[in-house]
Amino acid sequence: MNMVMLTIDGKQVQVEKGTTIKKAAEKLGIEIPGLCDDNDLKPFGACRLCVVEDARGNLVASCHTPVREGMVVKTNSPKVLKARRVILELLLSSHNADCFECDKNLHCKLQKYAYELNIRNIRFKGEKRNYEIKDNGPIYYDPNKCILCGKCVRICEEVQHICAIDFASRGFKAYISTPFEKPLLESDCIFCGQCVRVCPTGALAEKTDIERIYEAISDPNKVVVVQVAPAVRVALGEEFGLEPGEIVTGKMVAALKRLGFDKVFDTQFAADMTIVEETAELVERLEKGENFPMFTSCCPSWILAVEKFYPELIPNISTARSPQQIFGAIAKNYYAKKIGVARENMFVVSVMPCIGKKFEATRPEFNNDVDAVLTTRELARMIKESGIDFIKLEEENFDSPLGESTGAAAIFGVTGGVMEAALRTAYSIMTGEELEGDKIEFTAVRGLEGIKEAEVDIKGKKVRIAIANGIGNAKKLIEKIKSGETKYDFVEVMACPGGCMSGGGQPYTDDPEFRKKRMEGIYKNDRNLPKRKSHENEEVKKVYEEYYEKPCGPKAHEELHTHYHSRKKEY
């Protein structure tokens, strides 16, 4: 390995050859500001806010300039600070400055750096943009707040391989657009929300359901129940100053009850139901030898990608609904009848790490089973605006009968989790025996690699599996399958890199280790639960006994399964 020694702000540091100046500075604990740089993206150098001064007095962009042996760099010289202030003033001169109305007011990097660089007066007077804000479904897009950093375009292209948006026009009139300026709803967008996650300003955000939910809670005729996804409980605490991955389940439940929800249930209960249904379907397919590989169906953005790009794979998608939609169906059918409430008076809210879940809830196939969806960020906003001191809350438990869950459901929040949960139950169905101890953990499916492959031996039956981490990797995997290069029985796909834990609705963070920390929190949650296999969930068993009779039975197929259709010609 070739190493390079350089000096930054008078301190020597040794890094691998090819490392950028910005990354080298991070090793010394020096933060160089930047609006276009991101750990998931290739260096771009669009904003120039990361300029540093070299030994010859030249200003260079540190985010994409590689280090050299003996290089001497200053990151905070008068020349550097003056240049950064000018760059920020130019950006702010034409920026829509309605900060009080901006969704990212507390997370805007433009505001952060303006404060840190002591910008008090903007000397330049630029022309304000006045672009039309179109209906984009669950994603709010305001081109007037865009600073053309290109992060949304690049993550859509480089990571997700979707290319739904790109730069349009030139010069001052440049903006980010879909082809032919169509709304996102009519584009190739799959609403994964990764563009929202990386946007440094308020140009991109989720459309909020907060007011609708408050109205429902205030309606005496409505019974308002809420479900919370696995990945939320290892990220929500970040909004209140806690570390990524810290499990805040009890405080989260207490906060939701303080907000006025009639019942607080767990999406992990529905995840256990999903595994029972999906695994029964997998075993049935293995017996019949039909429609392989079977793909998971939990991720709404993955489903949209299939409908838009690979409709020929629709027969290969598991017909089991996602945990969000399974919960909605159970709440509005089984639970509503159980407590004597009319379906139309049951209002179901989801708290999800995902913006795509907002779109999923509107799909006509799901009969309005879920009425409104909150992202993790939106829930944090509701807690804060209600004056609830989250850190000081006493922990409370989920309500019954839709509140019990197992460790298998907990790991839905991380890539490979659905596969591992399914294997735990598949082993039981196929062998009549139970996995115990360390054997319950299928470590081959864990980790953040782009594509993971394994062959699992279930009492002599070889089950070939694969996990795709992000849509970009899913596309690579599909091409391998279509070419006949490899064959699988079961494939898991999660649209967001790392899985739901880094979904587009999760708290914004600059922590480069956030995925690793959240993942550790999810696996810790799995280990902490007394039961770790979905089919052992007593409340799931009770729902089958009282209502659905058996997995993949007629009633279960009617309410817990669905179908999808090609959207290839619809946009």
In a shared domain, residues 377 and 427: yes
State mean pLDDT over 282-308: 90
Predicted confidence band of residue 571 (pLDDT cuts 50, 70, 90): very low
Q: The tokens of 321 are what?
A: 């609904």
Domain end marker among 206, 234, 262:
206
Domain membership flag for residue 567: no
In a shared domain, residues 150 and 291: no
| Cα three-residue angle 544-545-547, rounded to 5 degrees | 65
Q: Tell me the CATH number at 33.
A: 3.10.20.740
In a shared domain, residues 392 and 273: yes
Q: The tokens of 468 are what?
A: 């795709």
State mean pLDDT over 221-248: 97
Q: Tell me the CATH number at 99.
A: 3.30.70.20
Three-class secondary structure of residue 514 per DSSP: helix
Res 460: pLDDT:
81
Predicted confidence band of residue 1 (pLDDT cuts 50, 70, 90): low
Domain end marker among 163, 191, 206:
206
Domain membership flag for residue 571: no
In a shared domain, residues 71 and 171: no
Three-class secondary structure of residue 177 per DSSP: strand
How far is residue 517's CA from residue 237's CA, in Å, rounded to a whole number?
Answer: 12
Domain membership flag for residue 81: no
H/E stretch holding 474: helix 471-482
State mean pLDDT over 263-274: 96
Domain membership flag for residue 570: no
Q: The tokens of 438 are what?
A: 């360390």
Res 569: pLDDT:
65
Please give the single-letter amino acid code of residue 163.
C
Q: Does the annotation count 395 as an active-site position?
A: no
- Of residues 74 and 105, the one with the higher pLDDT is 74
What residues have CB less than 8 Å from 398, skipping those under 6 apart? 253, 264, 265, 266, 404
Q: Does the annotation count 552 as an active-site position?
A: no
State mean pLDDT over 547-558: 92
Domain membership flag for residue 565: no
How far is residue 191's CA from residue 300's CA, in Å, rounded to a whole number?
Answer: 8
Q: Tell me the CATH number at 429.
A: 3.40.50.1780
Determine contact, residues 311/336, Cβ cutoff 8 Å.
no
State mean pLDDT over 350-361: 97
Q: Does the annotation count 163 as an active-site position?
A: no
Please give the single-letter amino acid code of residue 285.
R
In a shared domain, residues 109 and 250: no
In a shared domain, residues 181 and 219: no
Query: What tens digit of pLDDT does each residue of 432-473 get?
Result: 888 887 788 888 889 899 999 988 888 788 889 999 999 999
State mean pLDDT over 209-215: 96
Domain membership flag for residue 517: yes
Q: The tokens of 31 are what?
A: 């933060």
In a shared domain, residues 110 and 180: yes
Query: What tens digit of pLDDT does each residue of 364-393 get?
Result: 999 999 999 999 999 999 999 999 999 999
How far is residue 239's CA from residue 569's CA, in Å, rounded to a whole number?
Answer: 41
Whether the pTM exceeds 0.85: the reply is yes
**How far is it between the farthest Cα atoms of the chain?**
78
Nearest to 35 by CA among 99, 133, 114: 114
How far is residue 282's CA from residue 317's CA, in Å, rounded to a whole number?
Answer: 11
Q: Does the annotation count 360 as an active-site position?
A: yes
In a shared domain, residues 404 and 342: yes
Query: Does 199 belong to an annotated binding site?
Result: yes
Q: Does the annotation count 500 as an active-site position?
A: yes
H/E stretch holding 106: none
Res 570: pLDDT:
53
How far is residue 188's CA from residue 142's CA, in Å, rounded to a whole number?
Answer: 19
In a shared domain, residues 269 and 388: yes
Domain membership flag for residue 285: yes
Res 132: pLDDT:
72
How far is residue 5's CA from residue 19's CA, in Å, rounded to a whole number?
Answer: 11
Bridge partner residues of 415 (DSSP)? none
Three-class secondary structure of residue 139 per DSSP: strand
How far is residue 525's CA from residue 272's CA, in Å, rounded to a whole number?
Answer: 15
Least confident of 16-30, 170-184, 520-534: 170-184
Sign of CA dihedral 203, 204, 205, 211: positive
Res 517: pLDDT:
96
Domain membership flag for residue 527: yes
Res 120: pLDDT:
86
Bridge partner residues of 465 (DSSP)? 454, 490
State mean pLDDT over 115-120: 90
In a shared domain, residues 263 and 390: yes
Q: Does the annotation count 357 as an active-site position?
A: yes
Please give the single-letter amino acid code of residue 109.
K
Least confident of 24-33, 150-159, 175-184, 297-306: 175-184
Q: The tokens of 137 are what?
A: 């479904």
Please give the single-letter amino acid code of residue 428.
S
HSE-up of 266 (CA within 13 Å, CB side)?
30
Residue 499 has pLDDT above 90, yes or no: yes
Catalytic: which of 360, 378, 441, 536?
360
- φ, ψ of residue 451 in degrees (nearest 5): -135, 130
Q: The tokens of 118 are what?
A: 């002591």
In a shared domain, residues 32 and 117: no
Query: What tens digit of pLDDT does each residue of 148-160 get?
Result: 999 999 999 999 9
Average pLDDT, the chain: 93
How far is residue 520's CA from residue 244's CA, in Å, rounded to a whole number?
Answer: 9
Catalytic: which of 281, 378, 404, 420?
281
Q: Does the annotation count 27 as an active-site position?
A: no
Least confident of 56-70, 158-172, 220-234, 276-290: 276-290
Task: Give the CA-trace dihedral at 242, 244, 245, 249, to 10 degrees.
Answer: 40
| Cα three-residue angle 257-259-262, rounded to 5 degrees | 50
Count the domains in the chain. Answer: 3
Query: Does 552 belong to an annotated binding site?
Result: no
Domain end marker among 162, 190, 206:
206
Q: What spatial distance separates the first Cα and last Cα of the chain, rounded to whole Å?
A: 49
Beta strands in 171-231 (DSSP E): 175-177, 204-206, 223-228
Query: Does 95 belong to an annotated binding site?
Result: yes
- Percent share of the chain, pLDDT over 70: 99
Predicted confidence band of residue 343 (pLDDT cuts 50, 70, 90): very high
In a shared domain, residues 199 and 300: no
HSE-up of 315 (CA within 13 Å, CB side)?
5
Catalytic: which of 62, 251, 298, 308?
298
Nearest to 259 by CA among 361, 354, 380, 348: 380
Residue 341 has pLDDT above 80, yes or no: yes
Predicted confidence band of residue 26 (pLDDT cuts 50, 70, 90): very high
How far is residue 559's CA from residue 335's CA, in Å, rounded to a whole number?
Answer: 13
Query: Does 163 belong to an annotated binding site?
Result: no
State mean pLDDT over 357-364: 96
Residue linked to tokens 């805040």: 248
Residue 427 has pLDDT above 70, yes or no: yes
H/E stretch holding 87: helix 78-93
Catalytic: which of 109, 151, 357, 517?
357
Q: Does the annotation count 483 as an active-site position?
A: no
Which residue range(s) make up the domain with 499? 210-560
Query: What tens digit of pLDDT does each residue of 298-333 get?
Result: 999 999 999 999 999 999 999 999 999 999 999 999
Predicted confidence band of residue 545 (pLDDT cuts 50, 70, 90): very high
Catalytic: which of 177, 301, 318, 350?
318
Beta strands in 149-222 (DSSP E): 166-168, 175-177, 204-206
